[in-house]
Chains A and B, each alone.
Chain A
């Protein structure tokens, strides 16, 4: 189910009634009530705006109207949605919408790029919840749901859509030489580091450049480096996939999945340096990085 023109008008009407009622002279103006008033008034403004906006959209294509966020061009929507998000969603999804891995609450900033979802699908998830999961349906009005969609759009991880403009062919050979042993692109390559298919659409050029120049500055979960020494004296390097009080599961530097009982190990050191080598400008110039990124973008 998605928001329709009818829903929206109904929503805005409801909110106006509510605001009128609260603004009545008989109502005691506690601080809480005043605040409520403020919010409702904002809602009312938004709803009126959006009704107008939607009315315009309806003429351009009734069928598409349902998939479009009617508040898409209203900057206040994301702000109001942010307040709603912090009050209603942040306990599970985190104050920054990046999820809480220990309770399996997903990172919502990746929702569009990972699930390639559109706004109306996100709308449906917020309103109806996900059956069979802990994500419940919510009693938000449709306008509020669209505000949340606007907020999530505003914090969504985005990369580069414009052509990067480097030398794709040179990028391809650099990638094969320097990266493919550990990174996969469109099904080809290694698994020690993250799959880079479509990475330019998810991460900014700056972020990708930083990841190349200073890979240890910010190491993602499941790629944390470890060095351990087995009972037989073998030294093994790898990335930690999971761990409990008694055992550790890693991918070693030869990309084999291996598990060890901690009690059997001579040494277990959690390293600070990523297994990804630092690509200084001497190894890979800015222009060469640009070529590699262009190749990554072209392959997408």
Chain B
């Protein structure tokens, strides 16, 4: 085009060009209107921008890093005591035991929420009133999905929502109507598979994992095309015969094919490195290990996969040869920090085995591993990154199978470099027993006696450079609530007794609490702005409660 080179024609030419400009801008306007009517929805670039748009929460942790740290500051340490509920949403379902573990997604004033037993809703973020609801007709012979009938949230891209199901499917919905666009089977649920996590959505892929490591299953991470629903790649968490890692198992294809290694919590993503970080669960059977000598890779590990093809770049195994069901199914937290005087891209991890880890997320190099619980198992990770085991269970109790922490989200507070998580102190005795090894039946391989008298919980803030405890707030029972922090110096957390609370992130002082009426179990808060008002939202039981400083 010559427009850039300067004036060359007369008035007529100028008119022509002006006219053309009008037409162009008119077309652009029409296109914009069409797209608004079309409601194109959030793009991959929008998800990449994470917290930049305060009126959105587009992926499980708010951004790809897993920090669950919002920049919002309207609610701060001085006014948080005035926080009050502004609406509640109740599912109207009667699920007992395990309710909401979901993180709602927010776009354009609408919350997209999944519930237990594969219910889902679109809700007005200002009033809590629903636009549509969905319930999946689940088969009545669910396996793993019957014992943990939960869901942790949608993934979203454009006008599509993605949800996994208890009968091990991935579904795509139209976000405006709740209509099902397509569904794909991940694995045969009758063998023990199920799916509960929030899909991780990239520009051209929906990444999901699988539950069922308590059954004779083989874990995997799958990438699907968001539009066609075709599977693009699969990474198996248990190697096949002869593949790298198979040397850490007995030379028996049947054992490898049922090695467990669930991937039931969503991972995080580094767009610069194009790496997906994902945690892998226990080997099968959980407690009985006679038939599986070796480290049992890649169980109880973090794997870093090339997003393009699912190929393994590196791995680190937190608990080699696990016999305590200490799944490494936690949210990987990605942070760019100064480490020992050098800028470093790290991965922070509070593990179910009671240790806090810092790894280099480019190479997988082990940088730090320190305990964050009082219970004894190993008290040290050797320089080679392997735990030095002090108590294999023969010298009194160990952390219970629910772990020193679990899948519920922690939060990273930049600047203070604090890793804030909910810790569980427990005492359990493991009694392994050879299981029946029946396909489609749970296969724990023993039992666990938990001493109910010796249990407590705490919200703990760890210095990521040393793993040292900076502060804690104790709870009367082992707790399963997640954490969110905001740049106003606040940490929001939930407890087993149903309290939703705000803490001063610098010293752990409790600044506000509200009794929601049901335990906060596996869920963490989100926050967003609408009409100039900051909301904080927490799921508990079968209720979502929204809080703000005044009525909307």
Residue in A31, A35, A94, A139 whose CB lies within 8 Å of B141: A139
Question: Residue B410 at the A interface, CB < 8 A?
Answer: no
Chain A nearest CB, measured from B119 CB (Å): 14
Q: Do the beta carbons of A100 and B450 come within 8 Å of each other? A: yes
CB-based contact B94/A31 at 8 Å: no
Q: Is the CB of A39 closer than 8 A to any CB of chain B? A: yes
Choose from B437, B442, B473 the contact partner of A36 (Cβ within 8 Å).
Answer: B437
Interface size of B by CB at 8 A reads 51
Interface centre among B447, B448, B476 (most CB of A within 10 A): B447
Binds A, one of B237-245, B259-267, B494-502: B494-502
Indicate with 1 or 0, residue by residue over A220-256, a CB within 8 angstroms of chain B CB atoms.
Answer: 0000000000000000000000111110000000000
Give the shortest distance, in Å, between A1 (CB) and chain B (any CB): 13
Given contacts A91-B147, A132-B94, contact A102 B495 (CB under 8 A): no
A2 → chain B closest CB, angstroms: 18
User: What separation, in Å, do the CA atoms of A137 and B440 have in the docked complex?
Assistant: 14
The answer to whether B97 touches A87, judged by C-beta atoms less than 8 angstroms apart, is no
Is A137 within 8 A of B141, CB to CB? yes
Say whether A87 contacts B254, CB under 8 Å. no
**Interface residue total, chain A, C-beta cutoff 8 A:** 35
A83–B495 CA distance with the chains assembled, in angstroms = 35
Q: Residue A134 at the B interface, CB < 8 A?
A: yes
Does A156 count as interface, using CB distance less than 8 angstroms?
no
Beyond A102-B452, A244-B499, A245-B475, is A39–B436 a contact (Cβ under 8 Å)?
yes
B228 to chain A, nearest CB (A): 34
A129 to B449, CA, bound (A): 24
Bound CA span A104–B455, Å: 16
CB neighbours of A91 from chain B (8 A):
147, 214, 442, 444
A56 at the interface (CB under 8 A from B): no
In the complex the two chains form, what is the Cα distance from A17 to B380 in whole Å? 52
The 8 Å CB contact of A134, one of B149, B438, B475, is B149
A86 close to B (CB within 8 Å) = yes
- Whether B433 pairs with A86 at a CB distance below 8 angstroms is yes
Pair A86/B447 contact, Cβ less than 8 Å = yes
**Residues of A contacting B: mostly:** mixed
A94 and B497 contacting across the interface, CB-CB below 8 Å: no
Task: Give the docked Cα–Cα distance between A132 and B149 (Å).
Answer: 12
Interface residue A88 (Cβ < 8 Å from any Cβ of B) = yes
The CA-CA distance from A242 to B433 in the complex, in Å, is 36
B159 to chain A, nearest CB (A): 34
> Which residue of chain B has the shortest Cβ distance to A101 in the bound complex?
B452
Q: How distant is the Cα of A90 from the Cα of B497 in the complex, in angstroms?
A: 24
Tell me, rounded to whole Å, the shortest Cβ–Cβ distance linking A249 to chain B. Answer: 11
CB <8 Å contact, B446 and A32: no
Q: Which residue of B lies closest to A100 (CB)?
A: B450
Question: Could you tell me if A102 and B97 are in contact, using CB atoms closer than 8 angstroms?
Answer: no
Within 8 A of A (CB), among B401-456: 431, 433-438, 440-450, 452, 455
- The answer to whether A88 and B441 touch (CB under 8 A), given A102-B496, A137-B141, is yes
Partner of A87 from the list B443, B474, B495 (CB cut-off 8 Å) is B443
Whether B476 and A134, one on each chain, are in contact in the complex, defined by CB atoms closer than 8 angstroms, is no
14 A-B residue pairings within 8 Å (CB atoms) = A32-B254, A35-B436, A35-B437, A87-B441, A87-B445, A90-B447, A91-B214, A100-B452, A103-B97, A132-B95, A133-B97, A134-B97, A245-B513, A246-B510
Contacts beyond the supplied A92-B147, A95-B447, A132-B96: 14 A-B pairs with Cβ under 8 Å: A33-B437, A86-B433, A87-B433, A87-B436, A94-B450, A95-B449, A101-B452, A102-B477, A105-B97, A134-B98, A134-B147, A136-B146, A139-B441, A243-B476
